[in-house]
Amino acid sequence: LYNFVKRYEIQQRIAEHPAAPVPNEVKPVAEPSDEERRLHELTHLPFRPWCAFCQEHKSRSDAHKASDVSQHGVPVISFDFSFTGREEGGKDKLVTLVVRDSFSGWRESIPSARKGGATSRSYLASEVTRLLNMLGYGTVKLRCDPEGTCLSLRDEIVKRRSKFGHRTLFDQVAEGEHQSNGGAEAAVHQTRLQAGVLLSQYEVRSGKTVHTTHPLHSWSMRHASWLLNRFGQARSGTTPFEDIMNTTYRGKICRFGMAVLSLARGTAGARVVRAGLSPYGWVKARPATSTSRAQLGADCSSPGLLAGTVGKSASQRTKEVTDTGAVVVANDGVGPVTPLISAGGDEQDDGNDDGGDEQ
């Protein structure tokens, strides 16, 4: 009966339109203006078919299932480890903890020196606890793979949150069923794609190759999640930042890898001057050049810089920066080894490093 009905529909359509069938053409891509391209290259969000970097890394990333939410209205915070390497990096892998909130879709990427170890566990637990406090959740449900490293990290997060009087529930993934932790795995995939876009654009613009252990590799993961939270719209039409903060992000941004000048204000500026920064209160952020280890961490850790002023670097301002620290140069010739890569290092690994999402 079904086949008969389908044949009848086809015959009726042919009778009404006897001409040859019209091909369903792929919609041609219209070239953007220079202004549109410049603005898009700040975030690469949303996906644009005319952007070669988006096509290279995101052309197959449209279909994603919606993440599940707890039946009782409790946010599900899922996390998983990502191991990402470049082809020229050999066996080196960038270890990143990727966290996702089921309610808002917020993603957070936290690079670490290794997956296990007491120091790494303490560092990652502190970062996740800070994130949950920022999201404003009193009660959450943690979801992770049933591995020793993930379970140890989960327990450490519970212990730290209990000091704030917050309640933390468990939603354990069954052994061998990694798809049950799909929220975290989808976040890993989306963050990798966005980071790949940022790195590809930087390498094309600079003519340099960013290796696995280079600062820009780890920072691309952090910046990718930062962009997705503020400019990546969900099906509801809002961004995670808008859902959490109840406002649109209006801060100024620069293209990834661009040299900028950050203004250190007040007492925070005095502290970073002792780290070898400019005595005039301006620090030149140069992620791809020879910069001291102290300078690399100062931009991110000094409170005065978080709410300060950012401006494009002019060549005549370069002489105002004083570099007093020893330079640790990476073997790729692009720049120094990042503190994010070495953060959380530990001699002993007390967990199983077999799990996570590896590429």
Q: Are 263 and 278 in contact (CB under 8 A)?
A: no
User: Which residue type sits at 157?
Assistant: I
- Residue 237 is predicted with a pLDDT of 83
Q: What does the pLDDT look like over 115-132, one tens digit per residue?
A: 888 999 999 999 999 999
Q: Say what the pLDDT of residue 304 is.
A: 35
* Cβ-based neighbour number of residue 318 at 10 Å: 12
Taking residue 202's Cβ as centre, other Cβ atoms within 10 Å add up to 23
Label the pairing between strands 76-84 and 94-101: antiparallel
- Distance separating alpha carbons of residues 335 and 327, to the nearest angstrom: 9
pLDDT of residue 78: 93
The pLDDT of residue 153: 94
Q: Do 126 and 344 touch, CB atoms closer than 8 A?
A: no
Report the topology of domain 76-245: Nucleotidyltransferase; domain 5 (3.30.420)
pLDDT the model gives residue 89 = 63
pLDDT at 123: 94
Query: Per the omega criterion (within 30 degrees of 0), is the bond before 46 cis?
Result: yes
Q: 121 near 156, Cβ under 8 Å?
A: yes
Confidence (pLDDT) at 199? 92
Residues facing 109 on adjacent strands: 98
Domain chopping of the chain, boundaries? 76-245, 260-339
pLDDT at 233: 84
Whether 306 and 338 have beta carbons less than 8 Å apart is answered as no
Long-range contacts of 235-241, Cβ-Cβ distance < 8 Å, separation of 24 or more: 235/66, 240/101, 240/104, 240/105, 240/106, 240/107, 241/106
For 144-249, strand residue ranges (E) read 167-170
Written as six digits, the tokens of 176 are 């061998």
Question: What is the C-alpha separation between 124 and 98, in angstroms, rounded?
Answer: 10
Provide CB contacts within 8 A for 39, sequence distance 6+: none
Helix (H) / strand (E) containing 125: helix 118-135
Residues 6+ apart with CB under 8 A from 187: 78, 80, 98, 99, 100, 107, 225
* Predicted local distance difference test score (pLDDT) of residue 90: 72
Low-confidence ranges of the chain (pLDDT < 70): 1-3, 6, 10-11, 13-14, 17-26, 60-72, 88-89, 172-182, 263-359
Measured between alpha carbons, how far is 259 from 256 in angstroms, rounded to an integer? 9
Residue 55: the pLDDT is: 82
pTM confidence score: 0.63
**How far apart are alpha carbons 281 and 305 in whole angstroms?**
10
Strands 139-143 and 167-170, sheet pairing = parallel
> What is the C-alpha radius of gyration for the chain, rounded to an integer number of angstroms?
24
Q: How far apart are CA 194 and CA 228, in angstroms?
A: 8
